[in-house]
Chains A and B, each alone.
Chain A
Amino acid sequence: MPAQTVKNPPLSSATLHILLALAGGNLHGYGIIKEVARNSDGHYRLGPGTLYDNLKKLIDSGLVADVPTTSSTRKAALAKEDDRRFFTLTREGKDVLAREVDRLQGVVTKARARLQEARTGRA
């Protein structure tokens, strides 16, 4: 069994939520926090300390990268906001996220089958 790192699923909740938020497009830190809250219907509140600790690990692992200043996305964002750091999901980050989603899909499938068995057995 591979050691658990940010590259090996299962991912921690914070890591999964950050990668999911960035899958929708490049975001700055506050944008990630808002996106995570929206994706979880407000149940998961990510604080800035937790966010940047995880982002640092994800950047070090090559799953997330800073958006270069020349990026058109960033230029458009800069028109509205100050010079904030924007982050993007790398190809490797997308692969890790896809693997985690597949793993979670497998868990849900098994859970549904077990529940179905339990209901059938009870009836």
Chain B
Amino acid sequence: MNGAVSRLAYRLILRLHPATFRHEFASEMLWIFDQEQQPGAAAHLFFDGTVSLLRQRFRSQNGHGQLSIASGVMITGPGIGPLRFFQAALALSLLWFGLMFLKLPNPLNASVRWADRMPCYTVTLQAPSHAEVVLQSAP
């Protein structure tokens, strides 16, 4: 992915953040994206941006009480790994925004848990049939 395309993709991720967070921090985040030139930085930034998108979206819709997301992004931690988590997060985001775009009622109860002091995260997708998909990294 060349620089212009990756910048455009990152801007799209920022654009999908809730308006309050976006107005306050998106320009700063994009500036940091432009500054980061070290090898492997783009993958880290996309992973962080996607997690941030999920975190802010869930928080804005569910409030702080139902969501436990904190701490930093430890992309080198064990478990399902950043690439798999990124794929899952991207799929979840596309599904979520697809439903919003089509103005369909959301049939999924989704939650993300981010452990405070260990590189551990859990994404839970719960359908009305109580089928549950859990992606969890090992601490």
Contacts and interface: CB of A to CB of B under 8 A. Distances in A.
Tell me, yes or no, whether A binds B: yes
Interface of A: 4, 10, 12-15, 17, 28-30, 33, 44-50, 52-54, 56, 82, 84-85
Interface string B29-71: 1011101000000001101110111011000000000000111
The 8 closest A-B pairs by CB, nearest first: A49-B52, A47-B48, A14-B72, A48-B29, A52-B25, A12-B71, A48-B32, A49-B48
A82 B28 CA distance: 11
B44 A47 contact: yes
Interface string B85-111: 000000000000000000000000000
Nearest to B30: A48
A45 B45 CA distance: 10
Interface string B1-41: 00000000000000000000100110011011101000000
26 contacts: A10-B117, A12-B70, A13-B74, A13-B117, A14-B71, A15-B71, A28-B28, A29-B32, A30-B31, A30-B32, A44-B74, A46-B72, A47-B47, A47-B49, A48-B52, A49-B29, A49-B55, A50-B48, A50-B71, A50-B72, A52-B21, A52-B52, A53-B55, A53-B56, A53-B69, A54-B70
B116 interface: yes
A55 to B, nearest CB: 8
Interface of B: 21, 24-25, 28-29, 31-33, 35, 44-45, 47-49, 51-53, 55-56, 69-75, 116-117
Contact of A33 (B32, B69, B71, B74): B32
Contacts, number: 84
A28 B74 CA distance: 22
Contacts of B33: 48
A47 B117 contact: no
